[in-house]
Structure 1
Amino acid sequence: MSPKKAATGPSVPGAVWLRQRPPRRGQHGLTRERIAAEVVSQLDHGGPAGLNLRSIAAALDVHPTTLYWHVSARDDLLDFAVDAVFAELPLPTRPADDWIEDVRAFMHNLRAALLAHPWSGALASSRPLLGPEALARSEFVYAALARAGFTGDELTASAAAVSNLVIGSVAAETSWQHGDESPARRAVHEHLRANAETYPAMAELSTESGHWGAQFSYSADLLLAGLAQKAPINVTSHGATTQAPQIM
Structure 2
Amino acid sequence: MEIITGKPQEDDAAPTCGGRSVWLRPPPATRNGPPLTRERITEAAVALLDEEGIERLTMRHLAERLQVGATTLYWHIDTKDDVIDLAVDAIFTEAAVRGEHAGSWRDDVVALLAGCRATLLKHPWSAALPLRQRPVIGPNFLMWMEYLQATLVRAGLTGRHVQAACWLLYSHVQGSTVSQSNLRWTDAERHAAHEQLRRHSHRYPTLLDHAYVLDDEWDENFRLGLTYVLDGLEAWVRSAS
Identify whether the pair has TM-score above 0.5, normalized to the shorter chain: yes
1:172 aligns with 2:179: yes
Name which of 186, 191, 203 aligns with 2:191. 186
Cα offset for 1:135?
A: 1.0
Deviations 1:103-122 (A, max 9, x none): 10011111111111111112
* Alignment correspondent of 2:4: 2
Deviations 1:106-164 (A, max 9, x none): 11111111111111112233352221111110111000001112122211010001111
* Alignment correspondent of 1:42: 48
Gaps of 5+ in 2: 10-14
Q: Is the 8 A contact 1:91 1:137 kept in 2?
A: yes
Q: TM-score, normalised by structure 2?
A: 0.85
1:68 aligns with 2:74: yes
Q: Is the 8 A contact 1:43 1:51 kept in 2?
A: yes
Identity between Structure 1 and Structure 2 (%): 34
**Equivalences for residues 1-248 of structure 1 within 5 A:** 2-4=4-6, 11-12=16-17, 15-21=20-26, 23-26=28-31, 28-127=34-133, 128-176=135-183, 178=184, 181-206=186-211, 209-231=215-237, 244-246=238-240
Q: Is the 8 A contact 1:4 1:22 kept in 2?
A: no
CA distance in 1, matches of 2:90, 2:19: 14
Task: Give the residue type in structure 2 aligned to 1:205.
Answer: H
Query: SS state of the match for residue 183, structure 1?
Result: helix
Query: SS state of the match for residue 119, structure 1?
Result: helix
Q: Which structure: greater helix fraction?
A: 2
* Alignment CA distance shift 1:157-1:245 (3 Å): closer
Query: SS state of the match for residue 21, structure 2?
Result: helix
Deviations 1:30-53 (A, max 9, x none): 222221211111111111111101
Supply the RMSD in Å over aligned alpha carbons. 2.5
Q: Is the 8 A contact 1:114 1:120 kept in 2?
A: yes
Task: Give the residue type in structure 2 aligned to 1:175.
Answer: N
Q: TM-score, normalised by structure 1?
A: 0.83
Gaps of 5+ in 1: 232-243
